[in-house]
Amino acid sequence: MQTTLCFDFGNTRLKCAVFEDRDFKEEKVLNNTDDTTIQQLIDQYHPARSILSSVINHPPEMEALLAKHTHFHKLGHTSKLPLTTPVGKPETIGADRLAICAAAVDLFPHKHNLAIGLGTCITYNYINNAHEFLGGSISPGMNMRFRAMHEQTALLPLVQADSVFPLIGYDTKTNLLSGVILGMAKEIDGIIEAYASKYKNFNVLLTGGDMGFFVPHLKNRIFADPHLLYKGLYAISEYNQ
């Protein structure tokens, strides 16, 4: 059985998923990218392969350490992918978007797929049945919206996300929760319906750390998987072996 470490360094958290062959086993949240932290993962899991998706500035020494002990791949626009990217400036496509697109193709090959990532931002990513990533859109994520209302007003507080709130808010906190979470749910449904008016018979895949707040409020049928990005990283690692 072969172990693969899939690293996802986002704007909010540093994470690593452990795969045994194609099976997702566990997720590790990292405090930092120091050599000691990475070496501990290598010593614990003895991975044969590793892959990194990063949208932050991380130390190059970390890549060298992984390359020394594993078959290492850094995801970028020059990576071999199970899809094509016929969009302008492919080098500007975020590694996280490439990963969830790869997962969509791996899970639903030769199908039209709309893959939605709920993280710091919401990304909408459309891949057709010829495995062409056509692009999509980006909008502010949940915590970004909460922070914006707090930081750009004099009196609105910074609230923490909560799954329990009414449609009609009865105080400032519940007004903010209803506005952000229900507002985003309606945005997601609206984008799906806009695609449905243009394309027929496509899968909708939803992932990201904030996914659980929105699934109960969506009316469209979706395939929800919190580990979708990791599964895409694994597929790309396998593709580049």
219-227 contacts, C-beta under 8 A, 24 or more apart: 219/189, 220/188, 220/189, 220/192, 220/193, 222/116, 223/107, 225/103, 227/17, 227/24, 227/27
Q: CA separation (Å) from 135 to 84, 115, 143? A: 11, 11, 24
Would you give the DSSP letter of residue 99? Answer: H
Q: How far, in Å, CA of 3 to CA of 23, rounded? A: 9
Catalytic residue among 8, 96, 210, 225: 96
Place of tokens 């400032």: 172
Q: How far, in Å, CA of 8 to CA of 194, rounded? A: 30
162 is catalytic: no
Q: How far, in Å, CA of 232 to CA of 106, rounded? A: 7
Q: How far, in Å, CA of 134 to CA of 113, rounded? A: 11
**Active-site residue set:** 96
